[in-house]
Structure 1
Amino acid sequence: MMERMSSWGSALSRLSVSQKVDDDAETSVSEVGDTALHVKGHSEGDGTRLSFENTTKIGGIYVPGDNELQQFSPALNYVYTMQKLDKKLPKLLDYVSCVFDILGVLTRYLLEKLLGPGVAEVTSDQGILYPDLPSNMVGYLLMGWFGVVFKADISRVSEHLAIALTTGYLGSLTTFSGWNQKMLALGVAGHWLLALLGFFIGMILVAYSIILGVETAKGFKWFLSWLNLRLGSGICCISKVNLKVDSFQSHFVVTTVMLVMLGFLWGVSGALEKDEFKHGGSTAQLWFACLVGPLGVWIRWFLARINGRGIGAGMFRWLPFGTLIANVSAACVMAALATLKKSVNTTNCDTIVTRIQFGLLGCLSTVSTFAAEFNATRESHHPWRAYVYAMIIIGISFSFGILIYGIPVWRR
């Protein structure tokens, strides 16, 4: 027993914790939106760096790699057992959890129709209040709730639920490519001032909508804490309920439910699309978008793995390259499809191109994650990086859009 205690103490003595602020890491936005951090023993939020010798990763935590230590500590042994269970889980579970993207597409379509021409007439294709603006604003607000303030609480229940809400639902509810294309169309038509105002006002809404979301979410969280204290643990015992999805069986149930949901939504969308295809119109566009939307979300979630890695030897780690690539590529493809639509100018081409733009590209690009990353960087020690990040995304997307869409239109 004493030998084991000595071995354990020796292993723990090799663990050293040093507080160091990393200029490239302190502004990382790996805790918001789509992004996931996979850096050994490194906490981006508070700049703490953990360095272990001879370590083993157990349950996402690096611990001394001494087998005797793991056997001696019941807690570490439990985590080790859970890690072995997790290895049996399908790696595609993260992609299945993006099933909520179809609900995001439906919400975006509903807001566009309610506030667009013919109903409330707040938005239009000819002004800076573009049709996707209402859904983007709602997405900004909700990202402050589920992607910033409550993301850690949701992740404690299930990481996949957090992915479903932020990457799936909010990522599909908001769209950057639609925003860029509307401003591009205004510029190509000669309304350059309106296009610039559209981007400027849009960025103001990005900044203040997510701030409003964060502040209201913090207020609600404080209210829940106050309510729990006033009512007492005997009456309000929600915190004692174990809702965490932390076993193979519970993960299996969650996966099955999400697969059933995805299959049901795809089946309904496919059946309705088949009925509406020959008629065309916005209803057919909606159901087609629901069918192809998940593909855009999956590509964006795959690209999100690049966030926080930087380029080369870790340079520019503060720049979320995954979100940048997703938004810029979606904006460029949307501009190319708009050029194709003008060149071919047939009803069938119009219908198919519009559906791909609204569904696939609308879900591939996102403003909610972009807004969360912008806000996190703006509140860091280097707030200027947030504005550089915004100008890079908008500048590259708009410049490439001019080359792809503007020049062919002007030549004709």
Structure 2
Amino acid sequence: MDHQYHDFEPRQSGSFGRLSGASSSRRRSLSMSFGLSPQVDDDVESESVSEAGDIGDRALHSSRYSGSSRSRLSLDNTVESGIVVPIQEDPLFKPSLNSSLQVAPSPVENLSPLSHDAIIPSGETKKDEKEVPWLLEYITCLLSLAVFGILGVLARYCLQKLFGPEVVGATSDRSYMYLDLPSNMVGSFLMGWLGVVFKGDILKVSDQLAIGLTTGFLGSLTTFSGWNQKMLDLSVEGRWVFAFLGIFIGLFLVAYSIIFGIETAKGLKWLFKRSNIQSFRGTTFPHACISNKSQCLWTFMVMLLLILGMLWGTFATLEKKDFETGSSGAQLFLACIVGPFGVWLRWFLARLNGRGLGKNGTLKWMPFGTLAANVLAACVMAALATLKKAVDTKTCDTVASGIQFGLLGCLSTVSTFIAEFHAMRQSTHPWRAYAYAATTFLISFVLGILIYSVPSWAKGYD
């Protein structure tokens, strides 16, 4: 059977993109077409929903060994219904369980934040393109995460102040409308834009830009540990109803924020197509970067290094000046200094997503990397909150609060969490989304009570 090619939308997540929301009928037809069993089909979906938000630095390692799979099966030859078309150059190719068959989703469903190489159109090969050093890509990713992570911390602080008691008054420390709710909603909304609908357009410019915007900026703009800690604070005050309302209403609002982001971005993209605006397609800049990727990466890396050095230098100077005052500014400056380390740790932990447990990969649908990052950050956040009450000095409060807001705020994330939650809700097993959310909140909240609430009750801390 001869397979024809069409000019479809490009893939959005590189060689490791998979199904994260196609209907069961599409998957059944695909399984019958290629002879895949329903169990294999379910395994593919389980892995894809776990990787919907992030797979961390594993993307760089994976892309080194994905050339053969790309030469046999192109995800570019994909219609929006999720059908994969084998490449014409190998008409006898029959996918087996050992082949890297990947089912492409509808473009708005694939959220994985990093691809590696430009897509190779059918019948074409890369000419005169030197292999980009892996270390160069890795360092550029780390710098991009750091710079955008600091910007995310600053944006979260500004949203706290804007919607907090001092200005709008919509959020408060003593209400289920917690201080970080606006930033979590805005970050989830923007994930629908930058991490879903317009992801492919950003990837045409730079993979490192895409990972910086999604994992770096949006991951740091949103925070799960801050959310969990505010609910623990309410529990210590005996406001249990407010604590549970904060969890349920907060989850509802961020879940619909990403849906609203996706729908509005799709509407804007439709207007672009109606107006014959193809985003970055047809411009010379992305093509220049593809043809000379190594030089572009060197330029991008140097630029990011200079920006990071300037940011760290500025905040270190300001921190030294204001540290003794114990002001909120001193806490923010310290948060911006330590924030990148939280982003890097979360990126490393994200490699656990899609792996499952044990050699057999049990529970592949559970994003253990994101789960570990959120639970770890929530537990350390609770421990530092206990330490602040026990020591009760200006210096301790400044250091602990800076670490909480920066390092732990960037280590935990709501945007990635809600992207995975959304992908699970769109899968054939929507119950997994609620099991994942319940597991995350239950473990974090219970451990937080043991670490923070119980000592506060026992010692009578105010």
Show the counterpart of 1:134.
Answer: 182
Is contact 1:308–1:317 with CA below 8 Å preserved after alignment?
A: yes
Paired with 2:401 and 2:98, the residues of 1 have a C-alpha distance of 55
Who is 1:386 aligned against?
433
CA distance in 2, matches of 1:30, 1:355: 31
Give 1:291's match in structure 2, choosing from 332, 337, 342: 337
- What residue in structure 1 maps to residue 16 of structure 2? none
SS at match of 2:187: helix
2:361 pairs with 1:314: yes
Match of 1:208 in 2: 256
Of residues 285-294 and 220-229 in structure 1, the stretch that sits farther from structure 2 once superposed is 220-229
Q: Measured at CA, do residues 260 and 74 of structure 1 come closer, stay the same or move farther in structure 2, by a change above 3 Å?
A: farther
- Contact 1:184/1:401 (CA < 8 Å) preserved in 2? yes
- Number of the residue aligned with 2:89: none
Q: Secondary structure at the match of 2:42?
A: coil
* Letter aligned with residue 271 of structure 1: T
Worse-superposed segment, 384-393 or 252-261: 252-261
TM-score (norm 1): 0.84
Aligned to 2:281: 239
Q: Alignment partner for residue 125 of structure 2, among 54, 73, 76?
A: 76
Q: Deviations over 1:91-136 (max 9, x none)?
A: 2221111111111111110110111122111111111011111111
Q: 1:323 to 1:54 in 2, by over 3 A?
A: closer
Question: Is the CA contact (8 Å cut-off) linking 2:49 and 2:420 kept in structure 1?
Answer: yes
State the 1:90 CA deviation. 4.5
Specify the code of the residue in structure 2 equivalent to 1:175: T
* 1:205–1:162 distance in 2 versus 1, CA, 3 Å: same
CA contact (8 A) 2:201 2:279 kept: no
**What letter is aligned with 1:301?**
W
Higher mean displacement: 177-186 or 241-250: 241-250
Equivalent residue runs for 1:45-194 within 5 Å: 46=82, 50-51=95-96, 75-76=124-125, 78=127, 82=129, 84-87=131-134, 89-98=136-145, 99-194=147-242
Q: Does the Cα contact within 8 Å between 1:52 and 1:62 map onto a contact in 2? A: no
Query: Do the aligned partners of 2:349 and 2:370 also contact (CA within 8 Å) in 1?
Result: yes
Choose the corresponding residue for 1:300, options 346, 352, 373: 346
- Work out the CA distance in 2 between the residues paired with 1:61 and 1:238: 14
- Distance verdict in 2 for CA 1:271–1:19, change over 3 Å: farther
- The letter for the 1-side match of 2:285 is L
Q: Aligned partners of 1:84 and 1:150: how far apart in 2?
A: 27
Aligned positions of 1:12-31 closer than 5 A:
18=34, 20=36, 22-27=41-46, 28-29=48-49
Partners of 1:304 and 1:205 in 2: CA distance:
24
User: Does the Cα contact within 8 Å between 2:324 and 2:395 map onto a contact in 1?
Assistant: no
1:217 to 265, 268, 280: 265
Instruction: Output the amino acid matched with 1:34.
Output: D
- Tell me how far apart the structure 2 counterparts of residues 237 and 155 of structure 1 sit (CA, whole Å): 12
Structure 1: any 5+ residue segments left out of the alignment? 1-16, 64-72, 230-235
Change (3 A) 1:96 1:238: closer
Whichever of the two has the greater Rg, that structure is 1
After TM superposition, list the pairs within 5 Å mapping 1:320-359 onto structure 2: 320-359=367-406
Q: Which residue of 1 aligns with 2:21?
A: none
Q: Return the letter of the residue paired with 2:394.
A: T
Cα distance in 2 for residues equivalent to 1:97 and 1:275? 28
User: Could you say which residue in structure 2 is the equivalent of 1:68?
Assistant: none
Cα pair distance change 1:274/1:392, threshold 3 Å: same
Q: Does the C-alpha gap of structure 1 residues 389 and 82 become closer, same or farther in structure 2, counting only changes over 3 Å?
A: farther
The answer on 1:34 being equivalent to 2:81 is no
Structure 2 counterpart of 1:180, one-letter code: N
Cα 1:296–1:238 change in 2 (3 A) is closer
- 1:248 paired to 2:294: yes
By how many angstroms is 1:32 displaced?
4.0
Moved more, 270-279 or 21-30: 21-30
1:18 maps to amino acid: F
Alignment partners' CA distance in 1, 2:83 and 2:235: 43
The CA deviation at 1:269 is 1.2
What is the deviation of 1:156? 2.7
Structure 1 vs Structure 2 CA RMSD: 2.8
Residue 307 of structure 1 aligns with an amino acid whose one-letter code is N
Matched, 1:408 2:455: yes
- Identity fraction in percent: 54
Rounded Cα–Cα distance in structure 1 between residues aligned with 2:434 and 2:254: 12
Q: Compared with structure 1, are the counterparts of its residues 90 and 372 closer, same or farther at alpha carbon in structure 2 (3 Å cutoff)?
A: closer
Supply the AA of the counterpart residue of 1:379: Q
- Provide the C-alpha distance between the structure 1 equivalents of 2:267 and 2:228, rounded to a whole number of angstroms: 33
8 Å contact 1:139–1:174 — kept in the other structure?
yes
The answer to whether the 8 Å contact 1:32/1:148 transfers is no
Deviation at 1:354, TM superposition (A): 0.8
- C-alpha separation in 2, matches of 1:183 and 1:54: 47
Cα separation, partners in 2 of 1:82 and 1:309, compared to 1, 3 Å: farther
How far apart, CA to CA, are the structure 2 residues paired with 1:83 and 1:187? 58
Q: Describe how 1:358-397 pairs up with structure 2 within 5 A.
A: 358-397=405-444
* 1:241–1:31 distance in 2 versus 1, CA, 3 Å: farther
Distance 2:124 2:119 in 1: 14
CA contact (8 A) 1:266 1:291 kept: yes
Q: Provide the aligned length of Structure 1 versus Structure 2.
A: 376
Q: CA deviation at 1:153?
A: 2.2
Deviation of 1:46 after TM superposition, in Å, equals: 4.7
Question: Is the CA contact (8 Å cut-off) linking 2:50 and 2:364 kept in structure 1?
Answer: no
Indicate the SS of the match to 1:123. coil
- Take 2:138 and 2:279, find their aligned partners in 1: how far apart are those partners? 34
Specify every segment of 5 or more residues in structure 2 that has no aligned partner in the other structure, as ranges.
1-32, 76-80, 85-93, 101-115
The amino acid across from 1:291 in the alignment is I
Task: Provide the TM-score with structure 2 as the length reference.
Answer: 0.75
Q: Does the CA-based 8 Å contact 1:26-1:46 persist in structure 2?
A: no
